[in-house]
Structure 1
Amino acid sequence: MKHVPVPVQIERRFAPTALMLGNLVTGCSVLAPAGMLVELSAGLDVSVRTAGLLITFGAIVLCIGSPVTAWLTSRIERRTLLTATLAVLALTNIASAFAPDYASLLAIRLVMLAVGALYTPQAAGTAALIVPEEKRGSTIAYIFLGWSLAAAVGLPAITFIASRYGWQGVYAAIGATSCVSFLLLAWRLPRGLMGAPVDLKTWAAIGRNPMILLLLLITTLQMSGQFVVFTYMGPLLARLTGAGPDPIALVFATYGVCGVIGTVIATRIVDSWGAWKTSMLFTSVLLAGLGGWALSAGIYPLMAVSVAVWGIGFASTNSMQQVRLVGAAPMLASASVSLNTSVLYIGQAIGSATGGFLYARDLLHASGYVATAFVALAVVTVILTKPRKA
């Protein structure tokens, strides 16, 4: 992978922050429906489960789009590629605010996410071009902090805005934030950053690498388990505990703030602990949180505490997956990280579809146990990937 020297140190210093804020916008764009399912259901005159399909269908587009767009755009200069992606996110979020019906909103969302699939893996790959190798793990974890902030700040804000100003106000706000992020990235990211081209030989090399395949399986299981519950967390809390919009927003905020805390901890310890030990720690925390949700279903304070524990694990496990993939095969990082993003969205699709099936049949308590089973399998797979000297 070609390392391009950055001529101005301040650009190099703040470029990771610009990339991280782009992930915040991407995360809000992807997760937005989860924070306002009830408002979407009422405003568009569809069922809660149908509103939830915005996440399921979006995840399918993302899982297909991530490797395809990585292949099609691998020879495009990274600053141009990433700023163009954020510009499209800004335009499609603003267009969503004016969608007249569910079908129009779904169509706009699919276009939004087909392009948005580019951002997270390419941002991670770009990090390898702007920092020394010894700082690569902590920088990638820091860039993924944007997703934690999307949950910590974005989801509670989405729930708050939607409950008072409608779902249209949410999309307008995300569109405005996307414009700011676009300008910041165009200002701070250095020019001339080129990653390694992705071709058919790259995909074949990944298919022959058992470690990469196991890491991709871990991501799929982790995300499947979380999205069984996460997609319908607001409606589940409302039906199981009688919680209103503000207590639900508080749980989303707790989830996100704890996600930020977990990511900060992971960023601090990964370079000294190593990626496997850090991944094992936070996947186990993830399992404890979802297990707590399952066992405490119906008791709001205990469910909120369980979500806090779950939150500590959610973003840090994702960032560690990216770190481990880059470390497993640095020359394949652009493709392997895009595939990781793809299977992440496969996990979202599997989890949200499973959660929708259970919710539609009033199997509300079962959701937590199914989610826990997925993550337990992820823990077992992490153990199988232990390096000999870990």
Structure 2
Amino acid sequence: MTYCKNGTISNGIRAIQVIALLAGVLLVGSNAFVLTPILSEVAQGLATEPYRIAWSISAFGAATAISALTLSGLIDRAPAGWVLGSAALLLGLAQASSGSSQNWIWLCLSQAVAGMAVGVLLPGAYATTVATAPKGREASRLGIVLTGWALSLVLTVPLAAFIAERIGWRMVYALLAGLSVLTALGLVAGLHGVRGGVVLRTPPWRALRLPGVARLLLVMFTYMTAFYGSFAFFGEGMRQAFSLSAEGVGTFVVAYGLGFGLVGIGLGIVAPKITHRYILLVLFGIAISYAYWHFALGVRLVALTAALIWGALNQLGLNALVVSLNQYAAEARGTVMGLNTAVTYSAVFAGPLVMSPTYAVAGFTSVSALAAVLIVIGVLLSLKAE
């Protein structure tokens, strides 16, 4: 994707771009995570069982993957502000519909529409962040934008639980819808004059044939499967290890989010050069962090520190892989980021599925050990990525 920019971009416009793109990622993370702490309240409000409400998460994930594969290439051809702004507005409408749901089927359909929007918004945000960054500052700018994931964990999820308990779960989706509309306006204004320079759409199968792309996507799949498989049992693992309440488990999630977010801010100051050796070092570090959980569960402070480091290293890993994919993508960044989003949401499905039998038999430390093995597989795959 080659971006055409009108005139010189001022620092103020650059700041608006970064804030709007960060808000877009925050919206995606919020919609993905917000239902977990309020699942029982939503089920009670819709007079159904919690597992039916959980189906809306599956609907969201499936729609996201399909949308990412079929629609994300729009960012390579159309004005970036209008594509991302429209996706954020559609997400806002889906959130408003979710908050207005009268039954679980309505909620599932609303979240499927949200997934359609996210399948464009998330890969588009990643591609636009890298493409509009000053040369040599791609990792720096992406680090700031990726902090939206940390904010969704540290701020949105606890706030959603607080609001649902005191005002009601429908207000959670109403506030998210309002934030989506504001973000849509920010994306349209901040990315005015920024457009993809590709006339013809690059189909996913052709993007996969770009040098290095397919192998890096395999690395991303092992990386994300390790993460989502581990994170699915992270809270329960901490609860069992330290006999914690739900609030106590939340401190570990916050520690992870802080590590992820602080390193994102650090990357905004320091702009590392993303090389093959850099990626290998980061992946090795992540593998060690997974393996270390075997020793960290004896002392609560040590486990909190391990969660903080885990979050920090995952920021470095995600940042490095996304920047590298964009470097290989040439003029098909939107399509490649769409493939990346499809791979990510496939890992959301595969991770817990792969890790569930291991957790049932041997607990969280064995899950983290398996995650370390998956990361090592990713390292071996990345050795041939150049």
Q: CA deviation at 1:300?
A: 5.2
* Structure 1 residue 335 corresponds to structure 2 residue 332: no
> Which residue in the other structure is 1:325 paired with?
325
State the distance in 1 between where 2:101 and 2:236 align.
Answer: 24
Equivalent residues in 2 for 1:1-390 (5 A)? 1-7=1-7, 8-9=9-10, 10-37=12-39, 39-40=41-42, 51-71=53-73, 74-197=76-199, 199=201, 202-209=203-210, 211-231=212-232, 233-234=234-235, 237-238=238-239, 241-272=242-273, 274-293=274-293, 301-354=301-354, 357-358=356-357, 363=360, 365-386=362-383
Structure 1 residues 183, 338: closer, same or farther in 2, change over 3 A? same
- 53 and 352 in structure 1: CA distance in 2 versus 1, 3 angstrom threshold: farther
1:365–1:50 CA distance, 2 compared to 1 (3 A): farther
* Unpaired segments ≥5 residues, structure 2: none
Distance 1:278 1:55, change over 3 A: farther
Residues 388 and 76 of structure 1: is their aligned pair in 2 closer, same or farther, counting only changes over 3 Å? closer
Normalised to the residue count of structure 1, the TM-score between the two structures is 0.84
Q: 80-89 or 315-324: which moved more?
A: 315-324
Deviation track 1:218-250 (CA, whole Å, cap 9, x = no partner) reads: 211122122223245445555664433432332
Residue 30 of structure 1 and its aligned partner are, at CA, apart by 1.8
Higher mean alpha-carbon deviation, 224-233 vs 314-323, is at 224-233
Instruction: For 1:197 and 1:369, locate their aligned partners in 2 and report how far apart those are by CA, in whole Å.
Output: 49
Shift, 1:83, TM fit? 0.8
Asked whether the equivalents of residues 261 and 312 of structure 1 are also in contact (C-alpha less than 8 Å), the reply is yes
Unaligned runs of 5+ in 1: none
Shift of the 50–152 alpha-carbon distance from structure 1 to 2, 3 Å rule, reads same
Cα deviation 1:343-365 (Å, max 9, x = unaligned): 0111111124446x559xx8285
Deviation at 1:87, TM superposition (A): 0.9
Shift of 1:384: 4.0
Paired letter, 2:88: L
Q: Determine helix, strand or coil for the equivalent of 2:101.
A: coil
Q: C-alpha separation between the residues in 1 aligned to 2:237 and 2:182?
A: 34
